Structure formats: structure tokens, C-alpha cells
Structure 1
Amino acid sequence: MQNLNIIQWNLNGFYKKINELKILIAEYSPDLICLQETNFTDKSHTDLRNYTSYTQHRTNGLRASGGVAIYVKTFFPSKQININTHLEAIAISVQLNETNLNICNLYLPNQTKIELFDVENITKQLPKPFIILGDYNAHSTTWGSEKTDYRGKIIEKILENDNMVLLNDTSPTHINIANGNLSCIDLTMCTSTLAQRLKWKVLPDIYSSDHLPILTYFIPRLGDTNKNKSRRWNLKTPNWSLFSDIIEFEITKIQHNDHSNIENTVKTFTDMITSAANIAIGSSINLTKKPKVPWWNDEIKRAILNKKNALNTYKKHKTLENLIQLKKLRAQAKFLIKKSKKNSWKEFTSSINPKTNSHMIWNKIHSLKGLNRNQEIHITDAQGTTSSPKDVAEKFGTYFQANFSNDIYKQEFIDEIKIPSENSPITSTINPCNSEQIDLNSNITLNEMETALKKCLSKSPGPDSIPYCFITNLGITAKKFLLDIYNNIWHSGTIPDEWKKGIIIPILKPGKKKHSTDGYRPITLLNTMTKVMEKIINLRLIWFLEKNEILSKEQSGFRHARSTMDNLIIIKTEIENAFKHKQILGMISLDITKAYDSVWRHRILTILSKILTSGNMFKYISNFLKERQFQVKVSNTLSNTFYQENGIPQGSSLAVTLFLLAINDIVETIQVPVISNLYADDFNILCRSNNLNTVQEFLQKSANNLSDWSKKTGFSFSNLKSQSIIFTKRRKIKPLKITLDNLVIPNQDKIKILGITFDSKLNWLPHLKNIRDSLSQKLNIIKIISHTTWGGDSSTLLMIYRALIRSKTDYGSILFNNANTSHLNMIQTKLNTAIRLSIGGFKSSPIESIRNIANEISPKLRREKLLLLHCARTKRNTNNPATKIINTYIQEAEKKNIKINNILDRKPYNFPPWNTTFNVNLSLTNFKKENTIPSIYKNMLQNILQEHPNSVQIYTDASKTNNGVGVAMIVNNQKITYKLPPQASIFTAEAIAIYKAAKFFHSECVSPETKCIILSDSLSNLIAITNTSNPPDTTKLIQEETFQAGKKGKQILFVWVPGHSGILGNEIADKEAHNAIDSTSTTNINSITFDDAKIVINTYINNKCHSHWRQLNTKLNQIKNNTNLWTNSGLSRKDETTINRLRIGHTHLTHSYLMSNDEPPSCDTCRVPLTVKHIITECHKYNQYRDQFHISEQICQALGPNPQDTNNLILFLKKSELYNLI
């Protein structure tokens, strides 16, 4: 489809605004102009030069008023579409290449009464695809209005149509001249097939009309623009072997050089990597005007070339043979493109998770369509509008540099605190001989580097053009060379300048002005080699901080086993307690102005000097914070270099931890009865009492303390962005009047904390409305993809549904679980629609059947599941303040026989994990059990034992049956057994057996031997022992016990032995573990792991869902009596939709009467009600086809999960001409 620009505008008088209209045309050169309130009469001259005009005048007015008009450039063939309506509307069809675009312009004055039928009547008359736009005078929070009126609800109903998409992005389109209020009443809707190619924006120009012009345009294909191109590595088919070999060879030429000049060494190594990549991987830059799409490959290129050659051959020689060859090659090219699109989409969707935002998916849709995703930025300020990428980048650079300058600090702080402090040297008071300090400052190891690389999954390169995968695929010599670089930097404290320079990409903040620099936030790209080193240092620092409990327990941000929900559930519980005791709760949400940018670096180093010695760690961080530089990139154009005077570097994992240290003591300013709540820089204080004056007094005192704190630290609070709120059931309560630096903090009746809107009555209605409106936008993605051939299969759509839509309702659902059912239904309706669209269900389908096909549980059950999982996760960390809050929920879970009160606590290691290894022998795994006789295993094991004479040998095993779980260890002739809760997994049981063996040797064994061999047949547990980066909780117990034993000179070796292979100790341990289950004398261990609890919770929820399904009486119940997933692998979208509808029992053929209020259909042949069961198994009309394709007379088999039955049914439907009626 050709590129097309459409401007819509309610100009309120064509003749009065003609000059402004001409300015608009001159600036934007629209191909179509849709005007409302033209105020034409039958005698009016309505033409515009170079445009074909179509007008509809108001005929019932006493004066010239209302009316609509469409103007089409004469270049485009067009014609009017006659529509039967009493509304002010006009429709046209514009010919674009080989297709037609249909556009309807609509004006709905406030005084005109409309119903749903009136608008539906128009949409039903318009040929597809179409755009319907205009001034609707309809308000809805879905498209950005403050409220939803009756007309807004009508339009919302229209948008519930599977094929309708709203393009509005919530930007205001109307200004009330009298009071200056903004609203969104001009709308643009289209069919879903068009939406993926259209872009919508309100123009910044303010003309004399109270409506703003709107530009809707087709996104150009990538080849339609000639912007700056960036070079990309060809990572789809890299030759990693060649890449590694080249570097391994080249590095021999420099590996003996010293690293005295670290700048030159890093540059040489960087150049070596990029040179090898150019040879072994290659890069490309798209300089042609052909569409560059992710599914393009050489095979498609050849197929299209062959097709073109065949066409030319046929033009020259029009023979039947050449025609057949042309058709064959055209079909082949079409098939390859479709297949490649599907593969590209599946590759992308496999990476989708709840953190994937809708913007990424829109970009992928545009990419598959070959559309230009480049977002040009234009900045408008007092100097005018800046469009050149270079100039825009400079504007951003100047703006961001100002944010990092001393101007962010108050002059009083600079004069009295900052300058005097920075003129005084920082001296550490920590003993450098402390064992922890020695470990912290020890050499970086290769194992640490490999562990850090495993956490680096991004394919994006840094400023040096090196992505993480280049480092991961280096050879061993090159990795050791890089390790030498790291250790040289580590000991010298000198970081290369290029490693302290970042490239900032400006990203538009949600809901902010796109033509202003302050509407953007900086995302910084750093060199990947330095980010790997920073991860290594950061992991060490986090271990030290957590082990010594230096970070405040109130801080939940960026900490293991902590989340925003910890803070939010504390706030919710405090509010509920206030309601329960008829109290008043006051809360202040404090906004720290540019928190990361204003961090005082000297303060960080002062804090570190009190916990770190002046060794490698301190020197590295000190240099890390100094002399930071950045450039800004806009449209692949770089600005000049700017300097970051203050703050911490963006994009660095280490910087986040340093920020937590910088803000850590903010909680010390708060004293009881005030409660503090901290997530990174999101700080809230709350206090409840029977007396408002008491709440006021204590919160004001806390605000004063915070003001004093800010004057000493350099942080400052924004009085306007900070908010206060009162929660109470009392009526006519006065607002809080809290001052911060002599300015009153604004009081609100609702407040947003960490993405959750709390209202003063805690009825959750404002928050649920926000979710509903957000889901309406995200539903467009499902609608669009469900109408494509490359991405419309149910599994993909459900994946997107879970990542974008369900995750939106999941977040915070444990908080609003007890909200009013009618309020919860607002979001449940959207969820139901999304699932139905994903599986292709007919509109009348029962939601329970839809969920069953999609393998989805109900929202109510899901909220219960998430609450139970949150409780289990929180219980895992006893240092979390939220553990005190969840006891009520845990008691409720106990009543359901869900035991989560005895979950193992997860604590930081007592030893430095980077300097600690464990001795695990897995050599017997080299012999496959099916190919190895027991005697060989016995002989090999004997060899291992002989290598370690005078060692205590302990065999361990575990057993799990329906009656319970038992573990055993065998030491010489001593048999020790334990019994675990029945919820414990076999992995947990085997791990506990190993742990008890290690503990026995460490603490209880009276043998004089200093060596121990623990033999287990649990390979997964023994492999886990070697993992110190993120092991299972039970494994940490084993590692801790082994380390403590080592400190006493007791060494433990873990050996894998095959089970049931005649190894005596293992056989005895197995038998004793089994016997322990039913023994009354066995010692009980009442602990399970979080992973065990997850299994228990999932089983409970699944059983509950299954039980509910068995009680229903839907058509799907007749063929499917369980909630297991039935896959439809290999089916097209159309086939899959057809089968799903038939299984549910609701199809267009049998149930469309419900949409049109007609009578239920009857079978013309048999004179009985027309049902799916009748069509497939009973109707005499189709007996022949039923026999031909072996369709079972049993509906449960005909529509069952068997792939052959499914394929036969599809053939039956096609042959009987029913396929397109379903």
C-alpha cells in the first residue's frame, strides 16, 4: 500500500480558517484532509486547489453549521461510498496501487443523540479495510479523558469488535478556550489489518480552532527513507570457531607484553576482536532502497530473482511450459517468504516474557512488514524547532550535562558541605588484614568472569561495537589475556578512558512531551568489556553488604528475594489496620529530584571508607566515579563529548549498588510510630493514629528530619512531585498540611506508589480503571497479529497475552484480590476478550471453555495462586519486614493443607563464593549405565576410594512414595535416617541426606580422620554443589557445612555413584531411606524449599481448577473432561480457529443468531436444531463425506486431540463446504 498522509481537523468554519488550513497544507502536504464543522451550505464554494472534494452539509440547521468534508489529492483516483445514516458522515474509497482504502469522516455534535446501532450501522456499510475518524465528542479514560460518558461507552463497545483498533495514544485533541481544560474527543479507528501500518499523532501547531489537527500516516517501508545507516554484525550465522582461532593466533604476538599502558593494551585487544569479527562474522549496512526486513535471507533473494527471470522469459516466449514454470517459481517465493516470516516471528516470541513491553512487539510487527521504525526527534524550545539529528543530539547533550552539573545542588550545600568535605582526604579505618577485606581485594578469577558472562544475554554492542557474545566465544588464551587486563586495572585502580565513556540514547518518557528535552530519559550504552568487570566487582560488593547486613532491611530495591510487592503489601496492611481500628493513616510519598544524577560521589566514597580498606575495591570504585564522559546518539548521529560532573553512571550494575549505599541512611531519619518504606529511590513514610493531629505531628517531624538529611547529603526533595494522602473511613476529614522546606506537600485523594494507585478508601477502583484502559491499548496487538499469516497461531498469541496483558493484571493482584467483584470485572472482561481472540473463539463462546482451550485458570484462582507464591517467597527471607505481614495469609493457607510456614531460609554465603570451590568427582558418569555392567562400576569406584585412603565413607540416599519422604546415610555400620514432609521433592530429600552427612562429619563424627567421602546417586545435587553463583537453597546448606568443615581442617569429597548397581553402601542407604518413611522412630525434619512449595501450590490450584471444570455442563465438557492442554501443532491459523470453535460448540454457523437477535437455526435436511454435534456426527446430508474421511460417530473422538482425527475433520469440512461457515 502506498504511503499516505491524512489530516483530520475540526476547524469550526471552513471560510474563517481557510488561511490556517492553507498553512497546514503547505507544511504537511496531506494526501487526504478530513474536516469537521465545515459550516457549508448548498451554495458554498467548497473546493481546494489540487484536491477532489467530497462534502456532506447539515440540512436541518437555521444557519450554516456542522457538516463534514473529505479532500483527496487529484493524483489519487477516488469515489464516494454511499452510506445510509442520519449522522453527519461521508465516506470515500481511494485507489492505492492495486488496493482500495476506504475512509469515513464523522462528526457527532453534543446535541445529537446517538446509540450503538447508529455507529455500527456505518461500520457495517464500509468495505474493508477502512479508517473511520472525526470529532466524536466522546469521553473515555481508554483514550485519555478524565471520565467516561455515555457516548464514550458506545465507542468502547465498537472497539470490542475483534477487527477494530483505536489509534489514539491518549494525547489531548481539544482545548476548552474558556477554562483551558484539555480533552480527547477526536478519534481515529481502523480495521486491524491497517493498524500495523498506521502512525497517529496530534500536531503541535495550535490554530484558532479549539481542536488540534491530527496527522495519521502510513509508516514508510525501510527503503523509503535515506537516513543514517548503522552497521550491524551478522550474528545469525557466525563462524565462532574461525573467530576464536584468529584471535588465539594474533594474541600470541602480544601476550608477553606488559600492561603498563592499559589504554594501549585495551585498544589493541579491542581492535583484534573487531578485526577477527569482520573476517569470521561480517557486518552489513543497508544502503539500498529495498526493504530491509528480519525475514530476508539469501534463499528468498534467489527465489525472487528466479521468479523475475521466469517472468521475463514468459514475456519473451509465451509458451505453456514457461507459464507453468513462472507459476511454480512464484508459488515457491511466496512459500519461502511466508515460512521465513513465521520463523522470524517465532524466534522473537520465544524471547517474550512479562518484562517485554508493547513497544518492542510493535517494532517487531513493523519490522516484519518492512516498515521504518526510526523515530525522528524534533526539539522545540525558545530558539525554535531543531530537526537536524546532530543539532538535536547537541541539545540533549547540553540538557543532560546540566542535570549532572553542580547546578542541581543548593548553593548552601556546595559552600558549607561539598567544597570543605572534598578538600579533606578520605581515609579508611578498616584493618586491611581482615580476612573479608583480603577476599574482597583478591585477584579476579576466570570462574568469576565466566559467571558474569552467563548473566550477560543482550546482543547489543557497546560503543566499541563488541557485543557480549564476542567475549563469550573468545578462546581460553584470549580470555586469560582479558583477565590479565582486568587484574591490572584491579590492582592499579586505573580504568581506561574509553571504558568510562557512554553513549546516551534519549527515550521518551510515557505521557511526556515528545518535542522537549525534559520529556526524555537517558539510556546509556557502555562498553561490554567494562560491564563484565563491573558485574564481577558488583557481585563481590553485594555479597559483602548482604552478609554484614549493611543495607537497611527497609530497602527492597535491586536485592535478591525482594520485590516491590514487599513494600506495597506493608502499605496495604497498614491501611487495612487503620480501617479495622477506625484510625486515620497519613502517608507521604517523597520524590527525590533527579536522584541518580544528584548522587554526591564524595559521600559514596566516605561511606565506603567506613566499611572497606583502601585496597583494590576502594581504588577501583574511586576511579570508576571520576571523569565520566558521554555522547548522545540521535538517528545514528553522535553529539560532541560531554562531561558528567556528578551522579553515578547510567547503565552500570555497580552504580545501582552504589546508589543503594548513598541513600541507605535515609531510613534512620524516621522514628516510630512512623513507618518508612524504601524501594531504590522510591521513599514513603506513613503513620496511623486515632487523632489526625497526632498523625500530622509525627509526619511533620519526619519531614523536618528528612529536610535536615537532604541538606547534608546533596539530595533534594521535589515539593510539587511529592504527595500526601489520608486513608480513613471517616467522613469530612481535613487534609494533611505537611511542609517540606517551607512548602506544603500537595494532598491527594489517590496516590501512585510503585505502579499501584491507592485511593483514600482503598476500594481499588481508580487502579482497576487504569489497568482497564492500559489493556484496551494492548489488545490492539492481539487483534492485529490474529489477522496475520505469520504470527496468528494460538500458542504465539497466548504467549503475547501472558507477557503483555495478563502480566499487567498480575502485578499487584495480591493487593486488590478482595476488591468489589463488579470492579474486578472491568479488567476480567478485557482478559476474556484477549484469550478468546488468541484462540479464535466465537463471540458467544462460554468463557470457561475458552480458558480450558487456552490452558488458563480463572483470574480469581490466579490471584489466589500469586498470593500463595508471594507468601512462600517472602517466608524464604526472614530479614524481610514483610514476613510479619503475611502470617495471616499463611494461616489461611495452612487450612487448605498448604504448608509454607516451614520454608528454608535463604541467607548470603558466610564465605566468599568467588574464592571457594568444592571437590566433586563425577568421573563415573563417563560410563553410561545401559552399557556398563555393575562390576565395572564397582572396580572404578574402588580405584577412586583407594586414591583417598584413611577417609570416612558416607553413603546417602532418599526415597519418596505416596506415604512420605525418607532419607538415610550409612557410616560404616551406623545407619542414620530422617523423615521429611510429604511435600518435599526427591531433589530436596537427596540434598538433605548429603547435608546431614556433611554435618555429621563436621560436628558429630568421632573418627580421627580428617577426610570424608560422601557418595550419592543424585547427579543433579552433586552438579549443583559446584555452582556458587545461584544454587538451590538446599545446596547452599551443603556448601556452608563443607566450608565450615574445611576451616577446621576437615576435607570433604563428593562422589557420584550409580543407583541400583550393586554398590553395597548405596543399596543399604536406599533400603533404609525407604524404611524411614513408615518408621515411627525416625527423626522428623519439618523443612521444605521454596521450589517444593511452588509445586504444592501449583498442584493445589490445578486440582481446584480441574474440580471446577468437572462440575460444569458446557459443550466442551462432553468431549474433554480434564483441564490438560490439547495442542494443535502443524495447523494453520484458520484450521486451528475452526477446530477450537467446533470443540467449544459455538461457531458462526450455529450461534451467529445471538449477534443479530434472530431465531436459532435449524438443519434444513433433518429439521432439528443446528448444532456442532449434529453437523459432525448426525446430519444425513454429510453421510458420504463422513464415511469418506472416517469421521467417528462419537463427538468426543471426532473432536478429540488425535492429530489424524483432526486432519480428517478439516478435510471433511472442506469437502462438505462447511469450512468457511465455522
Structure 2
Amino acid sequence: MLKIDKPDIVFISESWLTSRIPSSLLIGDLPYLAVRRDRAKGRGGGTLIIIRDHFHFSIVQSIHDTIECLSIDLLTSSSTFIRLCLVYRPPSYSTSQTETLVECLSDLLSTSSYPIIFVGDFNSDIISSTIPPSEISLHSFVSTSDLTHLIRNPTRNTRCIDWLLASDSSIVHNPSVIPSFPSSDHFGISFSLDSTCLPPSQSLIRDFARANYDAMSTFLEHFDWFTLFSHDPHPEPMYCNFVSVIQHAIDLFVPYHRPKPIVSSYPSHIQNLIRHRNILFSKIHLPSVRPQYEKCSRDLLFQIKKWNQFCEHKKLKNSKDLYRHIRSLTSPKVSIPKELIDSSGTTVSGVLNIVNLIASRFASHFTLDDGFLPTIPSHPLTPFLCNVSFLPHEVHKALKQLSPSCSKGHDNIPQIVFRKCAQAISLPLCDIYNISMQSGVVPSLWKLSLITPLPKPDKNPKLAESYRPISILSPASKTMERLVKQKLAPYLFRFDIIPKYQHGFRSGSSPIPQFSINNVPLVTVPQQRDLGVQVIPSLLNRASIEDRVKKATTVMNIMLRSVSRLSYLGLPALFERRVIYDLVLARRIMNGDTLLDRNRFFTFTPLRCRTNNFGIYIEHTKSTPRYHCFSRRVSRIYNALPSHIHLSPSITRQQDEERKRDNQIDAEEKENLKQWKLDQNKDEWVATMLSMLDEVAKNKRDIEEEVVVPGTTKRTSLADWVVHNGLLYLLGQDHEKKLYIPEGRRKQFVKEIHDSPLSGHLCTKKMVQKLSQEAFWGSMNKDVEEVLRKCERCLMANS
């Protein structure tokens, strides 16, 4: 029904939902939200309201927990509210239970100062002449409350037990009985609201996907930034003027659009069944038509289930579609409740109060700097880092690293504008960055962030501590932060200002604790797998450890003995014993004195470096092992030993053999590199690019000059290309180098990769994806398709 009729609100009584069934399983990726009240005890029952996700509403709390009634206050386009109440009254209700239901309905009616509508399954026939004693109070409530019955036709067999009541009948239009769900024995009720009671429509938003970025870049390139900034050359007014110009460009070149929900529909054969069932429903009063209507409903339910199964099996073929489908069914659409509970247990309501509560909770996680600076040994001749400045091409390169998303900071400029117009705005931003560095002041807009609270899984949504903040900063501030890091990191690493034992948040260093066997004590951590045991901080409390271990398995008993031995010998002693054992076993494996087949697990090969004459590099034949496995432990420990230990006859002999093999490999690589250089030099476009890049190195050509790659309309700047070892490479988004394949080598290159046993004769799409990771040229798709069409093995497999 959601896919065919696309209703705004759906009321379902007797939903039969439980806490084990998430709302996302009902809605999936459709643009709806589910508001539900499940039956607390027993099977069946329950109420469910499915509403458009852009509607603004609040849930009305009820003090009657045993009554299956769900109410919402819906905001209308006239900034007023309308109360919608869904009721389910089981047929087994006694007189006292019906009176409790009437009391609940009276409270909802009396607390509403705006129109109210009751809809649901009351299991009481309003067209019958006789009223059972248990239903008298319900009928008297309707008559004394000036509620109007808007449905008088049968909704189940010959009885009208599904009610539509309104305090103001003028706001309800076209009430009618419609065909039921295929799995329901009740007919449905359909109605529409007056235009004054309709919710506000979705507002227009900017469509940055259809923006004219070429015209925007041209407009910004020809803008006189110098005159604009010269009036007040300070970071605050400069960036405010910059934002106003960008906003004006957005108004000129970015159109508006009204978002339309993406709702999939059923195939034609199911739609034909729905139309046929609607035709039969119009004649259902005839005795001969009802069996046909019931049969058509069963066929429709079967076809819908079959179609859903087909769609799910189709998604199984693509892992990306499969996980997206699973995520849509398992990730609920959640929002912050209208009421929260603070730390003192007080209920907080109101948008402003809830925002302040969440903000204070987030602020409590931040700590102020205590002013204490650690003592860090530094070189006495370390120069000061001063006069830091940025160049336009550096700003352009940093802007190109932004993701092309539409997320906005407090300046209301999305990242995609910074990325698409990087060439045009790099110069004014460079001026703002340099003046900010000189004055030590940044614009105030960079200090503000938009914080979105996201709920933590399996937490109480009514508590403020159940949310974590997601902060969105201005793209301009993030770009400057990246530029500052690029200037600061080389300085810190070059002069060893950052201690060597600092591994957290440091590029190229693992945060795992580092160990040494030379006068460095072993650090005790809560879980240390290097010793093969679990190190518990409270080792002295032996009784509690033994109590827990007695209840564990045999593995835990072994761990108990390890912990006892650990507390007796100490961590350094056990660590030294393991180091000695690892070194002895590694030496025996290298000499071939053991029955262990080293080729089955790993291979020792020489590794020459500046500090050691001989080292160990381990080539693993299986998946990458853990950090504390034997082979990786040996590689770390063995390479830290003094050089004279490596100079034994057996090791020296193996070293000579490995050196000869390396020299042979190096000769092959040099020959291969020489051939690639010859092939690239035969390509006229490559030769032109090499000469242009050489002129850039001599400051005879602008690095921002754009070039068009042959075979494609893609435009790149000279800053995106680099020459390494005499070969031309294109820099990717993450600055990885992609070799440019010359025209005369492309088909041979594709054929070699395609016929490789490691590729397994990939299809065109996967082949292009594989090649794009390491190589680049304009007509890649065309050349790959041409080579694959001539592959005999692929032709035989497809036939």
C-alpha cells in the first residue's frame, strides 16, 4: 500500500507487533516513520501509525497503560495542531475495561483545544439496533461529546465496527470504505483533511548536484577580491565578505528543488491484480462476487510475497546492495524524544530546554587546559618555526582533498562548493589564511560548529547521556587545519620534538605499546597478548581471580596457572625467557635444524638497512598474522640484536645467496623500468607533458594550468601530475601515484593483467576497477572491452 497509494498517514489497529520486531523492518528505506504502542502482555493487539518522515508531530503521553490507544498532535500548515487518535478495543472487553477506555478518550478530548479525530477498531456495531451492556458507556460517550460518526457502511461482513469520529466534521473530506489489506479480514477506511489542516509541505532546498560550477568558478575568478579585502584587512571582516560573495554566487548558479521521496512500485502484474480487486470490491454486496474478491486478495498476497523474495534474492548478488538493504531493515529512524530526563531525574520538555540539557552534557566531556607543559628533551640547536605562510597552489591542493558532500558548517557553504570552485577561491582564501597566521586571529565563524546528537545503541533515549555529538565545522577552517598540519608535522619529526615513545595519533606509528629488550621495563596493560596470558591489574587479589577461574573452562584454568606464575616470576623475567626461546627457535629454523616447514607459514629473507648489516623480513604466505604472533615477534627482536651476532658463517652464507637473488631481481626491475620509459617517450602526449612539467620545475609555466587527457573530456591541472624515476604518474584523490599507460602499450598491458592467474579473467567492470587502482589513461573502458571481446577463455565461458 505504501508503494502503490503513497499515503501520508496510515493507521493500523491490532498490529500484532512485539519488541523483537524493529520498526525498520516494516518501513525499510521508504520515507516514513513508525509510531507504535505494542501490547505489553500476551499476543495480538497493538496500534501502529505510519507517517511521512517530514511531518512535524509530537506523541501524546497517556496515563492509561493498559489501554491500546495511540495519539499524536500533528502540526498543520496554519501553525496549529490537530490531534489524531488510533484506538483498538478488543471484543473481549468487559464493562469495567470499556469504562476505562472511555475515561482515556475523555482525557484526550478534554486536554485538546484543537480538533480531534478518533479512528480505529472499536469492535462495536454502530448500525445495529441493539447495544450490548458492555458497550453502552462507549456509545453514550460518543453522543454526549458531540462526536460525529463519519462511516456508516459495513467494515467487516455486515457490521460497522471500525469507527471514524471527528469533533469537527467539516475538516474531514471524502470518508469512505476501501478494500482491505490482503491479510486482513476488515475493510479499510480512507479520508482526507481540509486544506487548513494539512501538514506543511516540504520546503525548497538547494540542488547542488545540478549547479553550474563552471559559471560559478568564472564569476569568482573575475571578482575583484583585492578591492573587497582592502577596505578592512582583518580576518573577521575579510571572511564575512568572502561568505557574502559565495552566497551571492550560490543564489545565481545553484537552483532550488523540492525533494521527492523515492518510493518504488510493484510490477505491472501486481498492479493489475490491485485494480481487479478494487473493481470486485465495488460489487462486493453481490453474493457471487465475494468469493472472487477473497480469492483475488489471496492471489495478491501471494504475488507480493513472491515479488519481495525475488527482490531480496536479486540483492544477494551484489554485496553493496545487500548490506544497504540489511542496513535499511536494521537501522531504525530515530529522533530525540519530546521529553528528556536530566541527572537529577527531573523531566525536561521544550525544544530550548532539551537543547540546553544536551549541550551541557556534551560540554561536560571537555576539559580545560591546566597550563602544565611536559618536559620534552629537545636539541639545543632546534630553530624556531616562524613566518609560516601558505601559497595559492597549496590551498588549491588542500581544497581538492575535501569530499564533495553537501554538509554545511555555520557559514552555510557546503563542501562541494569549496571543492568544485577550488581554483577560483584558492587565492582569496590564501590571503585570509596568511593574515590569520600573522595576526593570530581566526574568524569567529570558524569557532562555531553544528552539533548533531546521535543516539547510542541499546541506550535509554530519554537520557541525555545516551547521545554522542557529531560536530560539523566550516570547510574553510578544516582546510586551514590541514595546511597547518602539513607545515608543522615535518618540523616536529625532523628535530625530534615529539618523543619517540609517543605513538598515538602519529602517522606511521602503531598505538600498540612498544617493547625493547635493552634496559626498558615492560609496561603492564589490562590485556597483553604478547605473553600469551591475560594480565589482570589487581594481581594481588588472588582469591577473586581464583573464584572467577573456578567457574571457567579448561582454558581459563591454564590462564590461572599462567597468572600465578606471572605473579611469582614477574613480567620482565617471563618476557626475557620468551625472547631467548624465540631467538633460539628462529636460528634453528634458519639453519634447517627443525622439522618445521617454514615455507608453510613464513619465509625469512634478508633486509639491509643503515643500522644493521643483516636483518629479517618476513613474507607471510597466509593472511596477515597478529602483531604478537611468533613470526612478527622474531622480526622485531632479531633486527634489534647487535651486528656481530648476525655475522656467523651460516647467516653470512645465506646473506650472500640472498644478495645474489636480490641483484638478479634488481636487474630485471631496471630492465622493465627502462622499457616503460621507452614506451612512454614514444607517446607524443607524454613527451609534451614531461616537457611542460620540466618547465613548471623551472618556474617557466604555471602549475595550475589545465590540460585535457586524450580519450576523455577530463581536465586536470599540472599539479595533478608528477614524474618519478622518469615515468609520468597521475596523482589520485589520496595522492597515490597512478602510472600513465602510453598508447602503444595499453592493450598488451590489459591482456597481461587479464590473463594473470591472480586476476581470474575478470569482467569489464571489475577489470576497469582493478586497473584504475594502479594505472590511468583516457580510453580505459574502450580498450578493456576490446581486449575482453577477443579473449577465447571468456568467450567460451559466456557461451
TM over 0.5: no
Task: Give the TM-score of the pair, scaled to structure 1.
Answer: 0.30
Q: Could you say which structure has the greater relative contact order, defined with CA pairs below 8 angstroms and 6 or more residues apart? A: 1
Larger radius of gyration: 2
